């Protein structure tokens, strides 16, 4: 099939990260891909292999580039495009226009629970979790017949093996004690991600005698970073909290940590959660997005309450004092990743949606 993927995110976040993996995997499966992106977008600088053509396009922001989109659609028709798949709100609106122009099937990815009327103007909507499907079904923004739950996935090739030497090197690089219990939270430091809620967890661990540290990997946005710093200072834990800022090597750094924590207020299908699975890290996430569908208490981590951290503290206290438990949860997560979230497992599900709307 000839599949067009349109991305409207200019910077790095879960949408272009998971999207670039999808584009590469589809190309490896034999599909012809045209990738439409904003000029200067992060995704344009990624490494792609196979029959993939990248094309910058100014699609507009608040007001779409209507004449340009119509011309783009004509080119799609001339090139024999079979399916248009859109990623991001502006890209979805572009896809909605293509849907109204007719003839080429369009599918959008619902990467956030947002009230968009343009959901009605797509042949299909791919939701990365049942959590997302339920929202759009409940709000009647999309017909259940058009909603298709398909999880995100990652290639295991991007995750280095966790060895004592690599762990030592990465901790040394970050300035973390070699003998400490260190948990990490990955994602832009912002209100939605709610990283300030990690400080009570850290405080509880330290009060119970654990030599614990917290590392936050991600760019600083809004007031959340200030809230983290203020909460850490008030708890006397400033020297135990490391904010690295945005890192391009976040996946490589995961080998330095003992657990992955997310206190987010809202997610749909966190790519970071899959990165934690692939890295074999025990997971402690709030019940948003796909976390409650993937994390099984006692098997690979714990669903936590960011407002009541006692259960997270207890579970992580037990983890910190049991290398055997760390190994068990790590092995369980790696097995789950390989069984459910690799390209070999997930790509056929995307292809089934494409065939459904183009057949």
Which residue shows structure tokens 């709000």? 139
- What is the DSSP code string of 188-227? -BSTTTTGGGHHHHHHHHHHTT--EEEEEES-B-TTHHHH
Element (DSSP H or E) covering residue 89: helix 89-101
Per-residue tokens: 220 = 């600083």
pLDDT of residue 4: 98
Q: Domain limits of the chain?
A: 2-153+342-358, 158-340
Fold match between 2-153+342-358 and 158-340? yes
How far is residue 304's CA from residue 321's CA, in Å, rounded to a whole number? 19
pTM: 0.82
Q: What is the full per-residue pLDDT of the chain (359 aa) written as tens digits? A: 999 999 999 988 878 988 998 999 999 999 999 999 999 999 999 999 899 999 999 998 888 899 999 999 999 999 999 999 999 999 999 999 999 998 899 999 987 777 777 788 899 999 988 888 888 888 877 788 989 999 989 887 767 778 889 999 999 999 999 999 999 999 999 999 999 999 999 999 999 999 999 999 999 877 999 999 999 999 999 999 999 998 888 889 999 999 999 999 988 778 899 999 999 999 999 998 889 899 999 899 999 999 999 999 999 999 999 999 999 999 999 999 999 999 999 999 999 999 999 98
How far is residue 306's CA from residue 326's CA, in Å, rounded to a whole number? 22
Q: Name the fold adopted by 158-340.
A: Rossmann fold (3.40.50)
Q: Which CATH number fits domain 2-153+342-358: 3.40.1710.10, 3.20.20.140, 3.40.50.261, 3.40.50.2000?
A: 3.40.50.2000
Q: What share of the chain is helix, strand, coil (3-state, %, to 5)?
A: 45, 20, 35
Per-residue tokens: 9 = 């995110």
pLDDT of residue 158: 67
Per-residue tokens: 356 = 């459904």
Rg (CA), the chain: 21
How far is residue 294's CA from residue 296's CA, in Å, rounded to a whole number? 6
How far is residue 119's CA from residue 142's CA, in Å, rounded to a whole number? 6
Q: Where are the alpha helices (DSSP H) in the chain?
A: 14-28, 66-78, 89-101, 130-138, 164-174, 198-207, 224-234, 250-253, 271-279, 291-294, 310-320, 323-340, 343-358
How far is residue 294's CA from residue 133's CA, in Å, rounded to a whole number? 16
Diameter over CA atoms, the chain: 67
Number of Cβ atoms within 10 Å of the Cβ of 207: 12
Which residue shows structure tokens 């959340």? 224
HSE, side-chain direction, 13 A CA sphere, residue 310:
1
**Cα three-residue angle 224-226-232, rounded to 5 degrees:** 105
């Amino acid at each position: 099939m000839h599949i067009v993927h349109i991305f409207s995110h200019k910077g790095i976040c879960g949408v272009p990260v998971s999207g670039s993996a999808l584009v590469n995997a589809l190309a490896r499966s034999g599909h012809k891909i045209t990738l439409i992106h904003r000029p200067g977008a992060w995704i344009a600088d990624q490494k792609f292999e196979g029959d993939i053509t990248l094309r910058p396009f100014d699609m507009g922001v608040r007001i779409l580039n209507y004449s340009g989109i119509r011309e783009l659609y004509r080119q799609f028709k001339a090139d024999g495009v079979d399916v248009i798949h859109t990623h991001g709100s502006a890209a979805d609106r572009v896809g909605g226009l293509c849907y109204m122009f007719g003839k080429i099937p369009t599918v959008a990815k619902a990467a956030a629970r947002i009230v968009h009327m343009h959901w009605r103007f797509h042949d299909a909507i791919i939701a990365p979790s049942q959590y997302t499907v339920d929202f759009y079904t409940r709000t009647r923004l999309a017909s259940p017949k058009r909603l298709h739950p398909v999880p995100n996935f990652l290639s295991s090739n991007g995750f280095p093996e966790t060895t004592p030497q690599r762990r030592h090197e990465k901790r040394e690089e970050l300035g973390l004690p070699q003998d400490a219990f260190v948990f990490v939270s990955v994602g832009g430091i912002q209100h939605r991600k709610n990283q300030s809620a990690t400080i009570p967890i850290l405080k509880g661990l330290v009060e119970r005698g654990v030599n614990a540290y917290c590392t936050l990997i991600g760019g600083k946005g809004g007031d959340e970073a200030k809230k983290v710093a203020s909460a850490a200072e008030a708890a006397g834990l400033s020297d135990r909290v490391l904010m690295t800022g945005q890192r391009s090597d976040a996946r490589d750094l995961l080998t330095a940590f003992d657990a992955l924590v997310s206190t987010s207020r809202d997610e749909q299908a966190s790519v970071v959660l899959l990165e934690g699975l692939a890295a074999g890290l025990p997971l402690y996430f709030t019940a948003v997005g796909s976390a409650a569908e993937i994390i099984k208490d006692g098997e690979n981590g714990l669903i936590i309450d960011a407002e009541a951290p006692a259960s997270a503290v207890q579970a992580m206290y037990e983890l910190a004092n049991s290398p055997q438990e760390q190994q068990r949860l790590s092995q369980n997560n790696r097995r789950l990743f390989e069984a459910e979230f690799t390209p070999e497992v997930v790509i056929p599900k995307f292809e089934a949606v494409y065939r459904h709307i183009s057949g």
